[in-house]
Amino acid sequence: MVTVNSQLSLDPPEIRPLDVLAIAAHPDDVEQTCGGTLIRMAELGYRTGVLDLAAGEMGTRGTPELRLQEAGEAAAKMSLAWRGNRRFPDARIDNTIAVRMTIVADIRRLRPRVVILPYWEGRHPDHYKTAEIGYEACFLAGIRKMDPETEPHRPMKVVYSSMYANVKPSFVTDITRQFERRMEALLCYRSQYGGEASELFPEEKEIRERHAAIARFYGNLIGVKYGEPFVAKETMRVDDLMQMGVRSI
């Protein structure tokens, strides 16, 4: 099982660089939006990780300690190489200098090649604030003079998970083989998805049906059963037209 660091040490042991890092506001966010992609990348041999900014103490159900434990179980299901939680105040995440510089230090320490962020618009302020903080931290982490004591690092690519955004994705990842493991990871959060059903917390069957329906919609866009959508702000490059996927007609 991957242990979730409830708050990253100021002087941690050496961490092997990650290939892909997803930065999210709360435990269970990535499981809903890009968990299948993280599983697929791990299966391809890449080192994947998740940095959650808050432990979800404002949630109706559960406690921060329980949600961190569940996050560790979910991390194992997704084959993450690393997971941490910054324990920033839930529902009060803000893009301050101190917060940005904390994430800059994390980016320099974890050295990801690709960073996945939440879409930059959303219902919950924590989510779009996380997107803003994550992007600015990725840029600032590449400025050498920002912190002369650590080596600069700027990720090669930043993409945004757009599962719940009403926008056309730049690309969709096929997660057909990974979908069931993604659901297993999500349902590790028994504090959120177990117990008595209500309007806010539907029963497990309904949760599965909802997530399957959304993933089926995006999978259909690329001709597969299940998919996860992403948005990239820059134009994607294609060098070989013969290698482009998805039929036009």
pLDDT digits (tens, 9 = 90+) for 192-233: 887 676 666 788 899 999 999 999 999 999 999 999 999 999
Indicate whether 114 belongs to any domain: yes
CA gap 133, 97 in Å, rounded: 10
| SS3 state of residue 114 | strand
What is the extent of the structural domain holding 99? 4-8+16-163+177-194
Distances (CA, A) of 225 to 82, 214, 218: 29, 11, 8
DSSP type of residue 3: P
Write out 142-183 in H/E/C secondary structure: CCHHHCCCCCCCCCCEEEEECCCCCCCCCEEEECCCCHHHHH
Residue in this structure with the two tokens 């650590």, named with its chain if needed: 150
pTM: 0.93
Is 148 part of any domain?
A: yes
Is residue 114 within 8 Å of 156, Cβ to Cβ?
A: yes
| 189 found inside a domain | yes
Q: How far is CA 154 from CA 100, 101, 115, 137, in A?
A: 14, 14, 10, 9
Residue 220 counted as domain residue: no
Predicted pLDDT of residue 61:
80
Label residue 62 by pLDDT band (50, 70, 90): confident
Report residue 233 CA to chain centroid gap: 17
Does 90 reside within a domain?
A: yes
Please give the pLDDT value at position 115: 98
pLDDT at 11 over 90: no
Nearest of 97, 8, 60 to residue 189 by alpha carbon: 60
Instruction: Assign residue 31 the CATH number of its domain.
Output: 3.40.50.10320
Q: Judge whether 169 lies within some domain.
A: no
Provide the domain count of the chain. Answer: 1
Contact, 127 vs 163, CB < 8 A?
no
97-142: per-residue pLDDT in tens?
999 999 999 999 999 999 999 999 999 999 999 999 999 999 999 9
Residue 54 lies in a domain: yes
Sheet holding 4-5, edge to edge: 4-5, 82-85, 48-52, 20-24, 114-118, 157-161, 227-231, 171-174
Does residue 56 sit within a domain? yes
CA 84 from chain centre, in angstroms, equals 12
